[in-house]
């Protein structure tokens, strides 16, 4: 393994230094023929990395982990996790590496991480690899989420490795370079707790406070304040998912961050017809992670975080549980408030407007199985005087007319609505079309889709098909696959 002589990438290794028990030094597998598929130039520049250099052979070797910047110490991170409700004490980065932490020109610290970089000691039965399709999916969906204003981990770029990955069929392999506020998860805290080393748990919590919620350090009870800060960040995050119609698909505790960023775009998708029971993951047969369950599941995940943190809350377990229950009790009201504020904004209403208009609209959306994204844009058209498009979506029931009359009487601001309601979300049929073409070697549909989702609030001529829902025969049976 060679070390790049001339890169300007300076990586710290704060996680590995402060939490060595959870950081296993490791290196990426060699990629036989690395070829850059996509790079986010804007993100690169924001990190102080020269996009032109990242596109060079040396830069691409960094993006697949073949060259490690001088001084960097790549590690596989250890974490546990509840997967579909069952606890796995030892998950960890089975096919990923934390290259290190990068300080952006704006002073923020960001993880630089690789996914699909080969087997690690956490790989269990996995091959350590990732295929081009799922890595490009993470790239485009995380781009869309960022453009939609939803907190998310980012994809700096995807490199095809030249290696064949065996799934149901042989597929081209790829590595994704991920940038995140950090990769600390609920499952990281569960791991520290499971070691029964109270000092490690404390060190991890203090690390998380410094990294994400520094204001907690000044609280009377910093570790409780950390937990409350994670509750708030995650309540706000899942409210954003619900408002934009995002289904994560695999909300295991190892996929729930302490930062409040969305992580791990596996079997995720966006709603077409509004239905709370919507599930896209092929392995979620019980519907645990259905669209409408997401707030409840997140609350469950946060309860697991509270359990893991109990020894930090109080020496007396009863007292610790009392504190945890009270802190977790904030989740519901904070989620409801975040959702209501978002719904008011989507409806073009002032912050003091009647919040029940949002709840009632959900009932109408559900009754009509209307398209969430199209309905909000059609509502802005109604606010400007033409209610035909929204009536076509919501149907002719008297409740629709009644709701529209009351909403219009509240004086919605159509221009404000168009600034927060997207025209374009990455629709499942278009994502599949783009990934199928990319897997076969044609990146043009993927690049076009990327262009569409990066400017989601603009109705652009030539992009009409990116605003339209899937043909009905596509929607009902759509499934995506996890762990690929």
Non-local (6+) Cβ contacts of 92 within 8 A are 24, 76, 77, 78, 79, 120, 121, 122, 191
State yes or no: is 254 an active-site residue. yes
Asked if residue 184 binds ligand AMP (CB under 6 A), the reply is no
Pick one of ligand AMP, Mg ion, none as the site partner of residue 50 (Cβ within 5 to 8 A by kind): none
Asked if residue 77 binds Mg ion (CB under 5 A), the reply is no
- With contacts defined by CB under 6 A, how many residues of the chain interact with ligand AMP? 19
Which residue among 264, 334, 387, 418 contacts Mg ion (CB under 5 A)?
A: 264
Q: How far apart are the C-alpha atoms of 300 and 81, rounded to whole Å?
A: 13
Asked if residue 133 binds ligand AMP (CB under 6 A), the reply is no
Helices 222-244 and 317-328, axial angle in degrees (round to 10)? 30
Helices (H), 40-185: 41-46, 51-55, 57-63, 132-147
Cβ proximity to ligand AMP, 129 vs 216, nearer residue: 129
Asked if residue 261 binds Mg ion (CB under 5 A), the reply is no
Cβ proximity to ligand AMP, 145 vs 372, nearer residue: 145
Pick one of Mg ion, ligand AMP, none as the site partner of residue 123 (Cβ within 5 to 8 A by kind): ligand AMP
Q: In which residue are the tokens 């990281």 written?
A: 188
Asked if residue 182 binds Mg ion (CB under 5 A), the reply is no
Q: What is the DSSP string of 100-123?
A: EEEE-TTS-EEEEEEES----TT-
How does strand 68-69 pair with strand 3-4? parallel
Stretch that binds Mg ion, among 31-39, 56-64, 125-133, 259-267 (CB under 5 A): 259-267
Stretch that binds Mg ion, among 187-195, 248-256, 378-386, 472-480 (CB under 5 A): 248-256
153 φ/ψ angles, rounded to the nearest 5 degrees? -65, 155
Non-local (6+) Cβ contacts of 96 within 8 A are 76, 77, 113, 114, 115, 116, 117, 120
Cβ proximity to ligand AMP, 264 vs 371, nearer residue: 264
Asked if residue 214 binds ligand AMP (CB under 6 A), the reply is no
186: tokens are 């609920």
Cβ proximity to ligand AMP, 266 vs 426, nearer residue: 266
What is the closest distance, in whole angstroms, from the C-beta atom of residue 185 to Mg ion in the complex?
8
Which residue among 57, 85, 126, 411 contacts ligand AMP (CB under 6 A)?
A: 126
Asked if residue 121 binds ligand AMP (CB under 6 A), the reply is no
Contact mark string toward ligand AMP, 240..269, x via CB under 6 A: ----------x---xx--------x-x---
- With contacts defined by CB under 5 A, how many residues of the chain interact with Mg ion? 2
Cβ proximity to ligand AMP, 173 vs 469, nearer residue: 173
Q: How many CB atoms lie within 10 A of CB 241?
A: 21
Which residue among 34, 65, 100, 128 contacts ligand AMP (CB under 6 A)?
A: 128
Interacting positions 356-385 with ligand AMP (CB under 6 A): none
CA distances from 57 to 35, 130, 476 (A): 9, 21, 44
Asked if residue 127 binds ligand AMP (CB under 6 A), the reply is yes
Pick one of Mg ion, ligand AMP, none as the site partner of residue 313 (Cβ within 5 to 8 A by kind): none
458 φ/ψ angles, rounded to the nearest 5 degrees? -105, 130
CA distances from 17 to 8, 101, 178, 252, 259 (A): 22, 11, 21, 27, 20
Non-local (6+) Cβ contacts of 129 within 8 A are 95, 116, 118, 161, 163, 165, 173
Which residue among 77, 255, 301, 373 contacts Mg ion (CB under 5 A)?
A: 255
Q: How far apart are the C-alpha atoms of 393 and 382, rounded to whole Å?
A: 12
Q: How many CB atoms lie within 10 A of CB 406?
A: 13
Pick one of Mg ion, ligand AMP, none as the site partner of residue 483 (Cβ within 5 to 8 A by kind): ligand AMP
Asked if residue 294 binds Mg ion (CB under 5 A), the reply is no
Asked if residue 65 binds ligand AMP (CB under 6 A), the reply is no
Interacting positions 79-118 with ligand AMP (CB under 6 A): 91-96
Asked if residue 422 binds ligand AMP (CB under 6 A), the reply is no
Cβ proximity of 263 and 153 under 8 Å: yes
CA distances from 401 to 190, 270, 356, 369 (A): 50, 27, 16, 17
Asked if residue 170 binds ligand AMP (CB under 6 A), the reply is no
- From 40, 93, 254, 272, the catalytic residue: 254
Helices (H), 283-371: 294-313, 317-328, 331-346, 356-368
Cβ proximity to ligand AMP, 238 vs 327, nearer residue: 238
Asked if residue 180 binds ligand AMP (CB under 6 A), the reply is no
Interacting positions 425-454 with Mg ion (CB under 5 A): none
Cβ proximity to Mg ion, 87 vs 415, nearer residue: 87
Work out the burial of residue 351: count CB atoms within 10 Å of its CB; fewer than 13 is exposed, 13-18 middle, 19 or more buried: exposed
Where along the sequence are the contacts to ligand AMP (CB under 6 A)? Answer: 91-96, 122-123, 126-129, 250, 254-255, 264, 266, 482-483
Q: Which residues are catalytic?
A: 254
Where along the sequence are the contacts to Mg ion (CB under 5 A)? Answer: 255, 264
């Amino acid at each position: 393994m060679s070390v790049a002589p001339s890169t300007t990438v300076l990586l710290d290794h704060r996680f590995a230094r402060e939490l060595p028990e959870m950081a296993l030094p490791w290196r990426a597998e060699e990629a036989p023929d690395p070829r850059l598929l996509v790079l986010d130039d804007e993100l690169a520049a924001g990190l102080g990395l020269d996009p032109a250099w990242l596109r060079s052979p040396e830069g691409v070797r960094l993006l697949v982990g073949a060259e490690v910047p001088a001084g960097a110490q790549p590690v596989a991170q250890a974490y546990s996790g509840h997967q579909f409700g069952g606890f796995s004490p030892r998950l960890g980065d089975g096919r990923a590496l934390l290259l290190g932490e990068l300080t952006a020109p704006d002073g923020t610290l960001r993880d630089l991480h690789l996914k699909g970089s080969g087997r690690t000691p956490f790989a269990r039965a996995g091959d350590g690899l990732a295929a081009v399709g799922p890595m490009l999916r993470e790239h485009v969906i995380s781009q869309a989420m960022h453009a939609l204003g939803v907190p998310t981990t980012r994809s700096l770029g995807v490199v095809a490795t030249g290696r064949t990955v065996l799934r149901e069929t042989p597929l081209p392999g790829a590595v994704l370079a991920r940038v995140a506020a950090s990769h600390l998860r609920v499952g990281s805290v569960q791991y520290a707790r499971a070691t029964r080393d109270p000092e490690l748990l404390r060190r991890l919590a203090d690390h998380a406070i410094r990294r994400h919620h520094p204001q907690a350090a000044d609280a009377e009870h910093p570790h409780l304040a950390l937990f409350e800060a994670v509750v708030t960040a995650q309540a706000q995050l899942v409210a954003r998912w619900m408002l934009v119609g995002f289904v994560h698909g695999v909300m295991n505790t190892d996929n729930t961050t302490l930062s409040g960023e969305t992580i791990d775009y596996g079997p995720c998708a966006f709603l077409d017809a509004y239905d709370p029971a919507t599930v896209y993951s092929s392995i979620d047969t019980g519907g645990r992670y259905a669209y409408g369950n997401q707030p409840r599941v997140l609350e469950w995940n946060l309860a697991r975080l509270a359990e893991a943190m109990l020894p930090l809350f109080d020496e007396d377990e009863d007292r610790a549980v009392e504190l945890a229950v009270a802190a977790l009790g904030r989740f519901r009201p904070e989620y409801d408030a975040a959702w209501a504020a978002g719904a008011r904004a989507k409806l073009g209403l002032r912050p003091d407007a009647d919040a029940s208009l949002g709840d009632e609209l959900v009932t109408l959306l559900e009754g009509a199985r209307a398209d969430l994204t199209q309905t909000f844009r059609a509502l802005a058209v109604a606010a400007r005087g033409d209610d035909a498009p929204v009536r076509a979506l919501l149907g002719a029931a008297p409740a629709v007319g009644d709701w529209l009359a009351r909403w219009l009487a509240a004086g919605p601001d159509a221009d404000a609505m168009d600034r927060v309601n997207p025209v374009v979300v990455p629709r499942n049929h278009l994502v599949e079309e783009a990934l199928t073409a990319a897997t076969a070697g044609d990146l043009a549909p993927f690049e076009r889709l990327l262009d569409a989702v990066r400017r989601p609030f603009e109705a652009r001529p030539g992009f009409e098909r990116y605003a339209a829902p899937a043909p009905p025969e596509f929607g009902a049976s759509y499934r995506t696959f996890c762990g690929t």
